[in-house]
A = this chain, B = another copy of it.
Amino acid sequence: MAEISLRRARTMIRKALEHARGAEFKPMAVAVLDSGGNLIAFEREDGASPGRYEIARGKAYGAVMLGMPGSAQMARAEAQAYFVACANGALGGGMIPVPGGVLVKDSKGRTMGAVGVSGDASENDAAAAKAGIEAAGLSAED
């Protein structure tokens, strides 16, 4: 399986932020993680609050570690809060189980990593992540 190159991670971030500016979202942060949950690239826009890295990274981290996008994590959290609380403990406290953690898939459906976006409403965050992933020629599962 191909890894996400830095070149493609940059495209994802630039296009996610262009989407956010075009839609007049609040200032955003975008993290791109590889298939092992490790950070490839990150940007936080001027005016975004300082903890946006932790939130954006957490959205992407939970997605890639569990193979489950933020929307599915949120559904699980609403059905079984204790499961998600405990999964978060097992994963070192880094999950953010809401939309905006979007899986990056290759053409065969394999998970290459995840993009996490934070700054505006969760649905808008997810839309920006998806726009970035698709602009890089990959598939998004949000």
Q: Is there contact, CB below 8 Å, between B38 and A50?
A: yes
C-alpha gap A96/B66 in the complex (Å) = 13
Residues A98 and B110 in contact, CB atoms below 8 Å apart: no
Q: How large is the interface on A (under 10, 10 to 19, 20 to 34, 35 or more residues)?
A: 35 or more
The distance from the CB of A45 to the nearest CB of chain B, in whole angstroms, is 6
Q: A64: which B residues are within 8 A, CB to CB?
A: 49-51
- A38 with B41, Cβ < 8 A, contacts A67-B49, A96-B87, A98-B80 known: no
Binds B, one of A3-11, A124-132, A133-141: A3-11
- Taken together as a complex, chains A and B put the C-alpha atoms of A36 and B61 apart, in Å, by 12
Interface residues of A (CB under 8 A from B): 1-3, 5-6, 9-10, 34-51, 53-55, 57-58, 64-68, 74, 77-78, 80-98, 110-111
